[in-house]
Amino acid sequence: MWNQFRRLILGTVLELLLEEQVPVDFTTVQIRFDESRSAFKVPRLDNYMRFVGTLTANLTRPFSASDLPRIQKRLLEAWPDLCGVLKIPVGDRLEPTINRIELRLDGSRLELSFDLEAD
């Protein structure tokens, strides 16, 4: 299931970047999870998950940094939305407890740092 949630997060971010028309070279997208801080205990009696890591991608053309706050706000809204629709086989619900996103440009590179937790 770890791979499913990894893909769910990656797909959510990529969909949002497409909707916002961020000029991302999708062949350069990389998502890395910090294995020492990430945890995935689903499904269990006491479900818990935390995804800590980065997503990076090159841009195909210049992009205005003034659009980043709006995109970051949408990314912050995505984690509670994802937790709200997850169907856990056991009677537990996952509630978001940490929702930290930092989106920045480094020249022609987009960098997204995330720390997402649900318990």
Count of residues making up the chain: 119
9 pLDDT tier (thresholds 50, 70, 90):
confident
Q: Express each pLDDT in 73-89 by its tens digit.
A: 999 999 999 888 777 66
What pLDDT is stored for residue 94 in this prediction?
A: 80
What pLDDT is stored for residue 89 in this prediction?
A: 65
Q: Per the structure block, which two tokens stand in for 48?
A: 């818990």
| Overall number of domains in the chain | 1
Which of 48, 33, 38 is CA-nearest to residue 90?
48
26 pLDDT tier (thresholds 50, 70, 90):
very high
What pLDDT is stored for residue 90 in this prediction?
A: 61
What pLDDT is stored for residue 68 in this prediction?
A: 95
CA-CA distance, 8 to 29, in Å (whole number)?
15
Range of the domain at 45: 2-118
At position 6, the amino acid (one-letter code) is R
At position 15, the amino acid (one-letter code) is E
pTM: 0.86
| Bond prior to 96 in cis (omega within 30° of 0) | no
Which of 15, 21, 18, 23 is CA-nearest to residue 58?
23
Angle at 3 between CA 5 and CA 44, to 5 degrees: 65
